[in-house]
Structure 1
Amino acid sequence: MSDLIHGGDLISASAQYGIPVEEWLDLSTGINPVPYSVPEISEHWFQQLPYQSAEFKEAVKSYYGAEGVAANGTQQIIELLPSVLPELPILLPDCGYQEHRYSWQQQERELNYYPATDQEAAEKRILQQLNSGSAMHLLLINPNNPTGLKFSPEQIYHWAEQMQQGAYLIVDEAFIDLSPEQSVLSDYDRFEQLGNILVLRSFGKFFGLAGIRLGFAFANQQILQQLQTELGPWAVNGPAQAVAIAALNDAKWQAEARQQISQNAQAALELWQPLLTKLEFRKIDAELLSFDGLFLTAKLDTQKAKHIYQFLAEQGILIRLVLDEEFNCDLSGDKAQSDSKNCLLRSGLVDAQNADQCQKLKRVISELLLTLE
């Protein structure tokens, strides 16, 4: 496990700013703020060794449309991929979930990057690699957190068809649950026929239950068997299976959650709007890199971003500050002007029905605006 810092670390934030954990408004993650209600769990899920039940496997197949390998979060699978997949270089997004990069670094693999804040440039770099004739794994975080970069299933299938022998196209779909039709698993026959795509799916974000630690991998049978061998027989604890069975089978809640998340994203955007207006954000597509789904991301001057992050943290609101050097990318747009470098600020969603949350964020943003005069 790496020592990288992630969103949601309220323990460290509490220690740094002297604010008790329970008093924070945590907007630093992309997790549904209205979680699935945990059902009553039978004692046998705690008492028996957690072999994966037939009911659990059926719920997974029903929801994701495929049989895969379950693990204690996709993080566990991400750590295993470099040792399970053929020993080749990899092309990754220069901004994205850091643990991908870290896992491949730990195996001393050659890392190459494509820009994750520019759709056209990203596709151009990927196509350049595919046309080079050299075998290289390709990682897509679809949609990308924090930049919001997205690729269509058809584009991904097309790239998979062009991959060199032995190379795999890895698609991290941690945030795809809001638009399941955009998953490459939605056309399972094509996915299975290609055989060189590996899909990661995360349970905790959409269902708002990150503490469950549950994730899945879908790939050809050879890769799935290798992963299963590495994970062992008890990769998913019993209570997590019980919760997943209920949640994955609850189609009514899922449909309502997608609608509610959309409403909460709009509410969050409206609460942030006075600050965005103050910072003269005029074009959502250029400067506000992602404005729907489970997080909002804005690109702005590093000095201002640090001030905003610090001010909010001192008031008990935690967002995510993504600095240029943290990810392998230059967000400035002009490498010659190092004093005007940009970085990313990412916020998760509020629960629009939680008046205390909304009022706190609205008040603190109003106070923040006074410091930007």
Structure 2
Amino acid sequence: MLEHGGKLRNAATRYQIPLDQWIDLSTGINPNGWPIPAIPGECWVRLPEADDGLVEAARRYYQSPHILPVAGSQAAIQALPLLRPASVTGMLSPAYAEHAANWQKAGHTLINLNPDTLDETIGTLDVLVLINPNNPTGRRFSQAQLLAWHENLQARGGWLIVDEAFIDTTPEYSLGSYLPRPGLIILRSLGKFFGLAGARCGFVLADEVLLNQLNEQLGPWTLSHPCRYVATQALCDGDWQERTSLALKQQSQRLQHLLESHGLIPDGHTDLFVWSKIPQAPALHELLARQGILTRLFDTPASLRFGLPKDETQWGRLDIALKTIPPAIFGDKIG
């Protein structure tokens, strides 16, 4: 199993700090997610049905005609490599590691790519997997650039897969409205922006032929009835979406300024996290953890990703904790 953020129970045990005293900044999940309503009792006693309004709500929200609900985008990440013969598959590093692990596990040839030289290497690939914006670096790709790469791949029967898990606050970068196009596959999730990671609800946007193949691979009832109910309501709540998008942009800017004020200069960000390369990342991660603040540590390159604090109490604790960090930890990151 690969390492992921959010392992709060492990941290509580390791550092002997009670679970309810932690600030979890390790996941990039909106800490003030969509408010869950009461769930009707029938959701617990009846099997889910496909014509319950979820797909229609997703089509409106994602601005795309062909959509398949899946058990989190992770389900698609694991299944999509099984739908192709052995392929040369390219992806960036660092990036969400589940993509590389699953394509490699399925027997495909994996190539680590430099985003600045992708134009030169695209012709050698059968499949290109990108996260837009990238996790953890925050790097974004324009629609025009992505569509050009897709055209190159599709001409040879290839695929472009774009994981848009962190794109909700910047829908102008999404390729959803360009579908359906053969060989273009978009992954979306309710886990980050909506803060509904525990629901394990995601969507695949693609042409109908591929979605039918994927649906056969995954089998029936990929989402529980309660999950489908909650997801439908969340996707239809335009007022909450608008307020939250603005709030997350403001909070991300606040987090960048807070880190900069303590000498930790960000190297990338989205509206849900800030990422900083720092040689002493393991030491900084450890020092913050000893104060009950969990960040996401990356080895290559050595770096930390900070999610957003939930409330003013957490913002204050993060500020105080950063004040205790010896300047030598930041090294050449000091502003």
- Answer whether TM exceeds 0.5 for this pair: yes
Match of residue 220 from structure 1:
207
Match of residue 148 from structure 1:
138
The answer to whether the 8 Å contact 2:95/2:134 transfers is yes
Work out which of the residue numbers 280, 289, 294 in structure 1 matches 2:272: 294
Match of residue 147 from structure 2:
157
Seen in structure 2, the aligned counterparts of structure 1 residues 130 and 5 have a Cα distance that, compared at 3 Å, is closer
The answer to whether the 8 Å contact 2:86/2:107 transfers is no
Seen in structure 2, the aligned counterparts of structure 1 residues 372 and 144 have a Cα distance that, compared at 3 Å, is closer
Aligned AA for 2:27? Answer: T
1:73 Cα deviation after fit: 0.5
The answer to whether the 8 Å contact 1:275/1:369 transfers is no
Q: Where does the alignment leave 5 or more consecutive residues of structure 2 unmatched? A: 331-335
After TM superposition, the score normalised by the length of structure 1 is 0.84
1:289 Cα deviation after fit: 2.2
Q: Does 1:347 align with 2:306?
A: yes
Matches within 5 A, 1:1-373: 3-66=1-64, 67-115=66-114, 122-124=115-117, 126-131=118-123, 134-163=124-153, 164-186=155-177, 188=178, 191-192=179-180, 194-276=181-263, 281=265, 288-301=266-279, 304-324=280-300, 331=301, 343-351=302-310, 354-369=311-326, 372=329
> Hey, what's the Cα distance between the residues in 2 that align with 1:135 and 1:323?
27
1:58-98 alpha-carbon deviations (Å, 9 max, x no partner): 11111112221111101011001110134311001121000
1:152 Cα deviation after fit: 0.7
1:367 Cα deviation after fit: 1.4
> Hey, what's the Cα distance between the residues in 2 that align with 1:291 and 1:201?
19
> Hey, what's the Cα distance between the residues in 2 that align with 1:14 and 1:209?
22
Match of residue 340 from structure 1:
none
Seen in structure 2, the aligned counterparts of structure 1 residues 266 and 369 have a Cα distance that, compared at 3 Å, is farther
Aligned AA for 2:168? Answer: D
The answer to whether the 8 Å contact 1:52/1:236 transfers is no
After TM superposition, the score normalised by the length of structure 2 is 0.93
> Hey, what's the Cα distance between the residues in 2 that align with 1:266 and 1:182?
19
The size of the alignment, in residue pairs, is: 328
Match of residue 119 from structure 1:
none
Paired-residue identity, %? 37
Q: Where does the alignment leave 5 or more consecutive residues of structure 1 unmatched? A: 116-121, 282-287, 325-330, 332-342
1:372 Cα deviation after fit: 5.0
Aligned AA for 1:15? Answer: T
> Hey, what's the Cα distance between the residues in 2 that align with 1:147 and 1:266?
16
